[in-house]
Amino acid sequence: MTTIGDDTSALIARRIRVEREARQWSQADLAERAGVAKATISKVERGDMSPTAVTLVRLATAFDLTLAGLLLRAETEGARLSRASDQPTWRDPDTGYVRTQVFARPDHPLELARIDLPARQRVTLPAASYTHIRQVIWVQNGALTVHEDGQMHLLHAGDCLGFGAPSDVTLANDTDTPCTYVVLLARG
């Protein structure tokens, strides 16, 4: 398993800068498009700060990428075979949320990620992160509460939820035990 730590944080920082510069955007341009403070972008690009899941989603969305797409570009060129030992893992410094990128390739319409959400933690992702994708969540163990478009869905092991139209989504583990779920994304 590859843990996104110091080395990968540097790769993410470099990738964000490369994506920004490829579009000829200033840090202020990216900040406005992503809804992230310019100071945050500066710190992330310098490697002074590890971005949260929400920050990465906002940056990826500004680049018209999924979170997995951004991480993939930072980590690898993408191979057809995704060995467990090579799957990059990233940890959100705020919540302890761990995302393992099981499969993603720039030339493939599907992405697969495994998420470990610690007890009593939640992540809120903006509607913009779902604009160009369709998403399904499949709970492997524990319980997950999904707040989507004014609706609440309580999912248990084996339950699966396909997301509707883009809206802000909160994924919450309101229990005292960890929750693991799989996310399947299709570009479209």
> Model confidence over 8-58: pLDDT tens digits?
778 888 889 988 988 899 999 999 999 999 999 999 999 898 888 899 999
pLDDT at 113 > cutoff 90: yes
pLDDT of residue 35: 95
pLDDT score at 1: 39
Q: Percentage of the chain with pLDDT > 70?
A: 92
Selected residue with higher pLDDT from 85 and 175: 175
Round the average pLDDT of the chain to a whole number and report it: 88
Q: Which residue has the higher pLDDT, 141 or 130?
A: 141
**Nearest 10 degrees: CA dihedral of 163, 113, 10, 61?**
-20
What is the percent of the chain with per-residue pLDDT over 90, rounded to a whole number?
56
- Residue-wise pLDDT tens digits, 52-80: 889 999 999 999 888 877 887 777 544 67
Question: What phi and psi values does residue 28 have, to the nearest 5 degrees?
Answer: -65, -40
pLDDT of 106: 65
Where are the domains positioned within the chain? 2-187
pLDDT at 188 over 80: no
Question: Would you tell me the crossing angle of helices 53-62 and 27-34 to the nearest 10 degrees?
Answer: 110
Lowest mean pLDDT among 46-50, 156-160, 169-173: 46-50
What pLDDT is stored for residue 108 in this prediction? 73
Using CA atoms, how far apart are residues 56 and 43, in angstroms rounded to an integer? 13
Give CATH for domain 2-187. Answer: 2.60.120.10
Which one-letter amino acid corresponds to residue 20? R
**Sign of dihedral through CA atoms 138, 144, 148, 153?**
positive
